[in-house]
Structure 1
Amino acid sequence: MEHKVWRTNVLAEMNHLRSVVTALLVVTGLSVASRADDGLEAFLGKPVFEKQRLFDDQRYPNIVVTTRGTVVAVWGNDGVVVRRSEDGGRTWGGAITVSEKGYHGGGTTVDENSGDLLVFVEDRQPPAPLTVYRSRDDGKTWRVQATVIGKDTNGNTPSMHMNEHGITLLHGKHKGRLLRPTRYYGPNGGGAEWPLQYTNAIYSDDGGKSWRTSSPFPEKGTGEATLVELSDGRIYYNSRVHWSERPRNNG
C-alpha cells in the first residue's frame, strides 16, 4: 500500500477513544459555536455540556460530520440505525434504520469528494459476511452498495468490525482516496486466536465501490484501530493491543 506509515507505539487502552467518541454525542453547547467578532472569545469562553441519550440498549457508537455540516451518529449491534443533527448536536431527529440486522462496530466513512456516507455492516460477530450501505442525502436514506474488498498479503479478507471511522485523504498524489482501518480476526475469532489477529487498512480510489487491503500492521494481537492523515500527507495509525503475551516489535 503506497500510503501506509505504520507507527508501532500501540496503545494498550483504546477503549478510552471510544469513550471520547461517545462523549462527543452529547457535546451540544460548546462555546466554539460562539460568533464572537474578535475570534478569540470562542476559545476562551466557558464550555457547556448537555447530556442527551440518543440510543438505548445498543453498542458500538460512531459519529461523523458530513460535508454539509450534519452530525450523524451511527449505532448498533442488533441492527444498525442513525440519528442526524443539523444544528451541531443541539437537537436530533428520530432513528433511521440502515439495516434491520447485523453489527456496525464503527468505521462510518464520509467521502469528501462526493459527500456520500458509507456504513459497513457485518451479519454477526466476525468473521462474518459484510454489507456496505451508502447514503447520498446526508444520512436520510440508505441503499446497499455493491462492494469488492480484496485480500491482504496473507490472503485474508479483513473485517470491518470495531475500528474507527474512515477518512478522505487531502494531501499528496493520492488526494481523494478513501482510507479506513480494518482488522483480521483469525479463522474463528475470539481471544484464543489473538496470536493470529492483526489490524490493517482498506483503501478505495473509486468512491468505495472497490477496495484494496494493505499489508498487516506489524504487531500481532492488535485490533480496534484508528488513523489520521498528517498535514504532510503521512498516515498516523494507532491500534489497541489485546494479546499481552505478544513478542514485541522493536524495529
Structure 2
Amino acid sequence: MLPFIACLLLPAAVLAAEPAVTDLFRGSGHAPDHTYRIPSLAVTPKGALLAFAELRKNNGGDTGDIDIVLRRSDDGGKTWKPMQVIADFGMDTIGNATPIVDQRTGRITVLAQWNRLPERKLAPGFGEDSRRLYQLHSDDDGMTWSRPENITEQVKQPSWSWLATGPGAGIVLTRGTHKGRYVAGINHRETAGDAPGYYAHAIYSDDSGKTWKSSRTYASRHTNECEIAELTDGSLMLNMRNHGSNRRDRAIAISKDGGETWEDTRWDANLPEPQCMGSIRRATWPSDFKPGLILFSNPASRKSRQDLILRGSLDEGVTWPLAKLIKSGDAAYSHLATLPDGTIAIAYETDRYSRIALTTIQPADLQSAPEVANPDGTLKENAAR
C-alpha cells in the first residue's frame, strides 16, 4: 500500500504535470556573473530555507574565479532575499558548498573545496598546486559567516590529488553510538598503488566541526560525487555518482559505524544515471505505523542529463515505488530539502546550465512509480506530456 498518497486517485495527466518553478540564480552568459552551478539547500534551525550555489564569474568552467553565494527565504521558498557572497578566494576557485545544520547548537557548517589549477593539473599533497578543503560556519541562522578554515591535512592523504566535498549536504546523526556526529560525503582521486582512480567515502566530526577525520575504507573505484542518508537502524547509505565505469546506474554503499568504514559497493539498476550528481535525503522517520520516507532526485537517463525525477522509498532505500516528474528535458545537478511543514524543496540546474530553478511539492504529490518511469527507471514517454 502507498500511505498518504491520496493523489493517486487523480487523473494521471494531472499528476504528471511539472510543478511551478522559481528562478534562484540565472547567469548572464558574460562576466561578472557568467554561470551559476552546483545547487545545495539547507533548512536553518529557525526554519529558513538557504540556497547555495557557485558563482562562476568569467565562464562556465569548473576552474577560475568562482565564489560561493547564498540566497535566503523566510517563507518556504515563496520569496527570496538578495544574493550574498559567503566565500571568495580572489581569482581562485571555492565551491561545492556542502552545508550541515546542527539543530542542537544552531550552528550551520559549510564544507567547501579550493583549487587554483584545473583538475588535470592537480598534484597530490597539500600545496597550492593541489586541492584543499575548507569549512566556514554561521551561528546566527545563516545571516553572517566566519572566515574559511583550512582542514585539508585532517582529512586528505598525501597521495590524493583531487578531493571534493559532496556536493549536496551533510547530516548530523540522530541515533546510535555516534549520535551527534557530523558526516558528509566526499570523494578523492588516488594517484598511488595498484588501483588509481576516483573513490567516494565520508569525513566526520565528533566535536561539532572542530576536528575532522576521513573514512578508513572507501567505496569501490569509479565512484565520485555522493550524499549520505541515515537509516532507521543507525547505518548510513552512501549514494554515489558512477564515474568512469561502463555502468549507468547509481552506486550504493552502507556503513554500520557512522561512516568510518564502508561495506562492498553495489549498483542499483532501479536508479539510472548519465554520470551526474544526485541527491538523497531523508524526509520523515517511521511513526504511528507509517514507514519513513527517503527521497532521491537525479536525471533519470542513461544517455544524457535530462528528465529530472524525484523518487520516494518507504523501505529505507531498498525499493523506490514513488515518483514525480520534476523537469522533462534538460536537467542536471539537483538538491533536496524538507521544510518544517513537510514540503519538499528541489533546486536544480536546467537550460544548459544557464539557471538554477527551485520548485516545491507536497509528499502527497508523489505517485506510483509506474505512472512516471519505465521498468528500467527511465522516464516514460507519456509522463512528459
Give the TM-score normalised by the residue count of structure 1: 0.70
- Bigger strand share: 2
Where do 1:157-176 residues align within 5 Å? Answer: 159-176=163-180
Select the structure of larger CA radius of gyration: 2
State the distance in 2 between where 1:66 and 1:43 align: 30
Counterpart in 1 of 2:187? 183
State the distance in 2 between where 1:43 and 1:115 align: 36
1:100-138 CA distances to partner (integer Å, 9 max, x unpaired)? 243322422112331211222323356423331111111
1:183-238 CA distances to partner (integer Å, 9 max, x unpaired)? 11345xxxxxx942101100001111210100242310210111111112111111
Counterpart in 1 of 2:226? 225
State the distance in 2 between where 1:96 and 1:216 align: 37
The alignment status of 1:61 with 2:39, answered yes or no, reads yes
Where do 1:108-147 residues align within 5 Å? Answer: 108-124=99-115, 127-146=130-149
Counterpart in 2 of 1:10? none
Q: Which amino acid aligns with 1:244?
A: S
Counterpart in 1 of 2:50? 72
State the distance in 2 between where 1:91 and 1:100 align: 25
Compute the displacement of 1:250 (Å): 7.6
Counterpart in 1 of 2:94? 103
Counterpart in 2 of 1:203? 204
Alpha-carbon distance change, 233 to 155 in structure 1, aligned in 2, over 3 angstroms: farther
Alpha-carbon distance change, 250 to 175 in structure 1, aligned in 2, over 3 angstroms: closer
Query: Aligned-residue CA RMSD in angstroms?
Result: 3.2
Structure 2: tracts of 5 or more residues without a match = 27-34, 57-65, 120-129, 252-263, 267-385
Compute the displacement of 1:155 (Å): 6.3
Counterpart in 1 of 2:216? 215
State the distance in 2 between where 1:43 and 1:82 align: 36
Indicate conservation of the 8 Å contact 1:161/1:182, yes or no: yes
State the distance in 2 between where 1:185 and 1:162 align: 14
State the distance in 2 between where 1:229 and 1:162 align: 15
Q: Which amino acid aligns with 1:237?
A: L
Counterpart in 2 of 1:29? none
Q: Which amino acid aligns with 2:101?
A: V
SS at match of 1:176: coil
Identity %, equivalent residues:
29
Higher relative contact order (CA 8 A, sep 6+): 1
Aligned length in residues:
205
Compute the displacement of 1:142 (Å): 0.8
SS at match of 2:51: strand
Task: Say which is worse superposed, 224-233 or 125-134, in terms of deviation.
Answer: 125-134
State the distance in 1 between where 2:148 and 2:265 align: 41
Compute the displacement of 1:157 (Å): 8.2
1:71-103 CA distances to partner (integer Å, 9 max, x unpaired)? 000001411110011111111111111012433
